[in-house]
Structure 1
């Protein structure tokens, strides 16, 4: 069935001042979502010890990523139909509600469910902000506005681990969620006011709720298999076999839904574009690897190297700061170079070597060496994100922009959720809550097992980055457009 089309009035020409105000309207929601990830990652070991549920920590992250994965394409279609402003306001409201529920959670199960709710809201923040940037600036000019986003990402990455560590060690872990409430209220007011002049390129879409439910159910059962197989139940036990069969059936139903729905959760037409496919592979595999590192490096520092939450938070600042600082450079390079892939290919190769070095030296690293390796990894990956995002946006029509950006976010969140669960299956059962409490006898007994587990984690992460490298290498370099008008039909 054909998509119903509602002709949009000609978009008014924005002045540079108008454009800056629109960008300002989405920066606080982006900061709020980015800060949340940094805060929670640093506080995770403390949360696991508080609930005596270290083996379930990956679900605190995966629940957010899973629901965000399912909701992101829905937000893309809603924003293409109803406008970016209304869609982002809905996301902010749900995100704040999830943060309150997380802060009040009495046990790990309640926290996981609350994080799932927060993920539904989070899906409408960063992806929609990138779509707004695509609405107001053509690909060739986007770098100068990406500077403001880079400042926000870098600020969140710089202060998030420190604040998260201080809250977890000296106050209470729930503060990492409470802090989102005042920011959410301010973000709602700013977005409501400043996005009124945003150009609108609208087409009606049907929402594939059934597809969203299927992807969450299929991914959840798969991750349950990865987290309980060989630990809670034997791999060939009836429980694991049953979960495996159920997951396989749900994945089959999801793919059948993609092929048969009038407007599936993931529009297959967009995926027929080879530039879109390669950009999504580079972006999703690369970001999933970085998210995995950001989640589990605090655990590595606290369990293997014996650091406190505050110390681990401070020592992780360099990773996200360098990622976002170098992402700014990557955006500028994309705007100025005809062959804009060359620079991120070189830097991503350096990133892969850095993570490989971590794997080789996992138990003998000095802190200075660790910081240098993290800096190289961050500087190496940073340019991949803006280049792959701009390449994707450059390859689609304006009325598809929200959907295309959401598909990339969907793929990134889905693979990150699965990878976080897989990495959790590697390390969380080797790092018990006793290690996080700092008991000396337990530390001596368990550190060898934790070291081996983290070595495997770093090799898996490096493998994901290799796949990202191949996606970027195979992506066609189409000239970046200088006007959005050429993409309106």
Structure 2
């Protein structure tokens, strides 16, 4: 039995059980032209989010000099990560209730306001607060765009649209540092924030117009405010520990230990709330689904390892291989290029294979072998060999991302799609923060410096100690890829559906 609300949405009977066996009446199928216009409507917000994050890092030294506060620079990045990670699950839940279009529009507005406030910030404290506000808006852009993709295309057809998202996101990430560096060197650092304002206005107009024909799958969901506050507080505190431990404060300092204890208590309270709430913030059916759990493990551990490599490999090239910062950046381009190219191919292969897990499992074995080879040859590898190993590692990991994402989306009912995708994004961000902090604890002490925004801040290192530290780092990242492989191996290979109607609960 369901109760009809004034807004037309149906309030679920708490005694009812979600099922995929009794689909609701089919929604009108979009034409290819309509589908492409909807895709176009969310591509600019995706570009805007990726572009902003990649631009800001290159302007940090300039910002620090202007405000005379280099000690707080890492908080310009950390504030955005804290709020965007914490807010991600909320956007998923709200979009499952109020619809993707209105949720994304709210995210765009907050992002624009945060960008303008960042550009106008008179000091470092106000800039950090403004970046935190911008992160709240940014949390609703990429994850919501992927949810829209799930609304318009069934899992079997999703690969061809995933290609557009990947190209836009990767292009923005590659162009951002170049544009940000130019603004900081030749114009003014505030332009890296001002440029988001006109892009955001255009994004708002396009999203408002083009997403009107988006199929509506939302149902009434009560937002558990207590759980929302708990997860925001718990994740923010954990991210704070991961981003400041060993940098702002020593790992065993009173500050880090206090924040760690607070985070542990908040997480326990959050999970207790999930068990007791009449309608949990994250539906327990999603967490109990073994396909969802395995997909999150494969996606999160794999991406965390890639992010860790992307952050610390420049330091390896400079301290162990003797390369300059600009040379190390050029040598690392091959990793992200091959990861994204391989992801596109993997998405296409998955759409055409009945046993779609086989291809990413085989390629992931190649990735594990390559990173293990780096660990063995850490102090004797040639640059040509290094480039080849990185290229093969990128090719090996690429297919894991689209296959794990599609498998998760294939396993949940449509009115919980936004929540499921946001949970995966949230887990990926948390796992990445934990791994980056763990790798930093291994490496940064050995090389005598810290990494800020993905760049090495010092070359004062004992080469033998650095070599041993990076050997450990490579074994740790190889271990993360092994866990990702186990997630794929244990994930049930449910046939990809050819229609979203079969997933309407």
- CA drift at 1:303: 6.3
- Structure 1 CA distance for aligned equivalents of residues 83 and 132 of structure 2: 6
Q: Tell me whether 1:81 sits opposite 2:86 in the alignment.
A: no
- CA drift at 1:344: 0.5
How does 1:205-284 map onto structure 2 within 5 Å?
205-225=221-241, 238-284=254-300
- Structure 2 CA distance for aligned equivalents of residues 175 and 146 of structure 1: 30
- CA drift at 1:480: 0.8
Tell me what 2:389 maps to: 373
- Which residue, 115, 128, 147 being the options, matches 1:99? 115
Q: Does the CA-based 8 Å contact 1:161-1:317 persist in structure 2?
A: no
Q: Tell me whether 1:470 sits opposite 2:486 in the alignment.
A: yes
Q: Does the CA-based 8 Å contact 1:3-1:204 persist in structure 2?
A: no
Q: TM-score, normalised by structure 1?
A: 0.86
Q: Does the CA-based 8 Å contact 2:370-2:392 persist in structure 1?
A: yes
- CA drift at 1:306: 6.4
Q: Which runs of 5+ in 1 are unaligned?
A: none
What is the SS of the residue equivalent to 2:212?
coil
Q: Tell me whether 1:350 sits opposite 2:366 in the alignment.
A: yes
Distance 1:435 1:111, change over 3 A: closer
Tell me what 2:47 maps to: 31
- CA drift at 1:124: 1.0
Q: TM-score, normalised by structure 2?
A: 0.83
What is the SS of the residue equivalent to 1:202?
coil
Distance 1:135 1:233, change over 3 A: closer
- CA drift at 1:466: 1.8
What's the CA shift string for 1:178-203, capped at 9, x where partnerless? 43333222222221221111111121
TM-align CA RMSD? 3.6
What is the SS of the residue equivalent to 2:213?
coil
What's the CA shift string for 1:97-142, capped at 9, x where partnerless? 3333444556665554433322211221111111111111111111
Tell me what 1:154 maps to: 170
Q: Tell me whether 1:129 sits opposite 2:145 in the alignment.
A: yes
- Which residue, 442, 465, 475 being the options, matches 1:459? 475
Distance 1:485 1:434, change over 3 A: closer
Tell me what 2:85 maps to: 69
What's the CA shift string for 1:364-414, capped at 9, x where partnerless? 555444433332222221111110111111111112212211221121122
Q: Which runs of 5+ in 2 are unaligned?
A: 11-23
- More displaced stretch, 234-243 vs 384-393: 234-243
Q: Does the CA-based 8 Å contact 1:42-1:312 persist in structure 2?
A: no
Q: How many residues get paired?
A: 486
Q: Tell me whether 1:138 sits opposite 2:154 in the alignment.
A: yes
- More displaced stretch, 218-227 vs 126-135: 218-227
- More displaced stretch, 224-233 vs 269-278: 224-233
How does 1:325-404 map onto structure 2 within 5 Å?
325-362=341-378, 365-404=381-420
